[in-house]
Amino acid sequence: MSQASHALVEVREVSKRFPGVQALDSVSVDIRPGEVHAVAGENGAGKSTLMKLLAQLEKPSEGDILVEGERVRFRSPRHAQRLGIAMVHQEFALAPDLSVADNLSLGREHTRAGVIVRGSEKRRARELLERVGVAVDPGRKVSSLAVAEQQRVEIAKALAVDARVVIMDEPTATLTDAEIDSLFELIEQLKGEGIAIFYISHRLDEIMRIADRVTVMRDGQVVETLDKEQLDEGKLIALMVGREIDTLYPKQEAEIGDVVLRVRGLTRPGVLLDCSFEVRAGEILGFAGVVGAGRTELARAVFGADPVSAGCIELDGRELRLGSPGEAIAAGIGYLTEDRKGEGLAMQLSVIDNVTLARIPGRGIWIDRRAERQAAEQRSDELSIRAPSLHRSVEALSGGTQQKVVVAKWLQTDARVMFFDEPTRGIDVGAKAEIFRLLSDLAGKGRAIVLISSYLPELTNMCDRIVVLRDGRTVGELRREEFGEERIMALASGTEKEAA
């Protein structure tokens, strides 16, 4: 009880029902000034719904939300901001074509006689940006900023409304390790200013690092709220999933065969320079490097999605000339893109349509719909795709299930070399383990796998070999026995001389 009296914001037995679904079931949680309160849980556990209720994007069906002990009436996101609750969205809610200053004052423009007073806005913007530690000109367009800078602007926007509680939804999803460190410094600073932070994340290591308390949610309910001293990664996973996951990285030893894909001197002006690597049957090769080092670009170039000016690509010792993804697919190369929503799925189409998109069964112009359905059914059994119906659009599926649909699409092409670009981005722990098991199985069946990940433990645990990229070049290669996060980081950041 005494705890509750210190609470800045308290959620008391709140439920949220949508037609046919209980999204939140009598959830209680509170946050105190200067605290980082992490909310952990799998997709669909109700984390985001809970945060939306706090930000007044959704209205609770039952229960109360109290700010400093006072019951709050549901009105609008603007009202929530006035109460001091602001949200930093996972996909930033900034107007890309407006300037930073305009974005920071959006909705609260300082006007005189109906005309916006630009000077004072810029000044205020500069103050805010300084507070969040980002040195950009407030006159610049948001679309010209890097992702990490845009995020700072989002946080600045929260500070602009004098937020006392800042909700961060998966704030590190698109950041590099260095940027994450710097974000955490900022969070510490905000804590020092007495600002409370709700921190939603899938990444347990981050939660362990930053959180003062952790509330674990599952199936719309709070499972437990733990204090910092009680935290333990295995315990968190067990609470989130509701069962013990024996291992997150089910790496199996596979028999490594001949070189399947050999890339030599691949160059794309301004993007890739003289990149070389090879991958063998049964092998999982990792691409490590900071964001922008050219990992995705290298995969895209090999896949024929982007033009190259020099270099050669050999598959089974035969040189390929790839002009388009279609030719790469026909040759036996697959590429699971990092951006599932933007490049992976046709959201309005059904599971079946997406699974067969890269190789539709049929003859000539015709689609063999029965073969197509059978293929999709088989893949969905194989990958245990949990969809209410294979005829439904993939839009409605969870991130993990969507990712499996994309994987199914590439399995369907019988690709012998498969690039997996950040395959676990935005999916929950259970689904992650499943994706990794699948990578292992594929390698076990003699496919050659290239895994791209910004999260080093994924690479060090899953890969047989790691190629490090920096500034568009392949700068080093490490065998499994040489793996070490420091070693990889040193190569990726250029502090260690090239080993290749």
Q: Is 181 an interacting residue with respect to other proteins (CB under 8 A)?
A: no
Only one of the segments 26-34, 154-162, 334-342, 449-457 lies at the binding site for other proteins (rule: CB under 8 A); that segment is 334-342
Q: How far is the CB of 52 from other proteins (least distance, A)?
A: 7
Write each residue from 202 to 231 as x if it is in contact with other proteins (CB under 8 A), else as -, in one continuous string: ------------------------------
Only one of the segments 120-128, 180-188, 401-409, 455-463 lies at the binding site for other proteins (rule: CB under 8 A); that segment is 401-409
Nearer to other proteins, 259 or 349 (CB): 349
Q: How far is the CB of 241 from other proteins (least distance, A)?
A: 14
Write each residue from 31 to 50 as x if it is in contact with other proteins (CB under 8 A), else as -, in one continuous string: -----------xxxx-xxx-
Q: Is 104 an interacting residue with respect to other proteins (CB under 8 A)?
A: no
DSSP letter string, 117-162: -HHHHHHHHHHHHHHTT----TTSBGGGS-HHHHHHHHHHHHHHTT
Q: Residue 45 and residue 216: Cα distance in Å, rounded?
A: 9
- Give the tokens for residue 5: 């009296």
367, 371, 499, 500: which one binds other proteins (CB under 8 A): 367
Compute how many residues bind other proteins; rule: CB under 8 A. Answer: 72
Nearer to other proteins, 107 or 326 (CB): 326
In the sheet that holds 272-280, the strands lie side by side as 272-280, 259-268, 310-315, 318-320
DSSP letter string, 207-220: HHHH-SEEEEEETT
Distance of CA 88 to the CA centre of its chain: 15
Write each residue from 456 to 475 as x if it is in contact with other proteins (CB under 8 A), else as -, in one continuous string: ----------------x---
Q: Is 305 an interacting residue with respect to other proteins (CB under 8 A)?
A: yes
Nearer to other proteins, 201 or 440 (CB): 201
Helix, strand, or coil (residue 272): strand
Nearer to other proteins, 8 or 55 (CB): 55
Note whether 491 and 468 are within 8 A (CB). Answer: yes
Q: Is 348 an interacting residue with respect to other proteins (CB under 8 A)?
A: yes
Q: How far is the CB of 373 from other proteins (least distance, A)?
A: 9
71, 82, 341, 480: which one binds other proteins (CB under 8 A): 341
114, 119, 192, 270: which one binds other proteins (CB under 8 A): 270
Q: Which residues in the 412-441 window bind other proteins by CB under 8 A?
A: 413, 426
Q: Residue 226 and residue 320: Cα distance in Å, rounded?
A: 55
106, 117, 241, 357: which one binds other proteins (CB under 8 A): 357
Burial (Cβ within 10 Å: 0-12, 13-18, ≥19) of residue 247: exposed
Q: Is 294 an interacting residue with respect to other proteins (CB under 8 A)?
A: yes
Q: Residue 426 and residue 432: Cα distance in Å, rounded?
A: 9
Q: Residue 362 and residue 355: Cα distance in Å, rounded?
A: 14
Q: Residue 51 and residue 199: Cα distance in Å, rounded?
A: 10
388, 481, 495, 497: which one binds other proteins (CB under 8 A): 388
Q: Residue 66 and residue 84: Cα distance in Å, rounded?
A: 12
Q: How many CA atoms lie within 13 A of 272 on its CB side?
A: 25
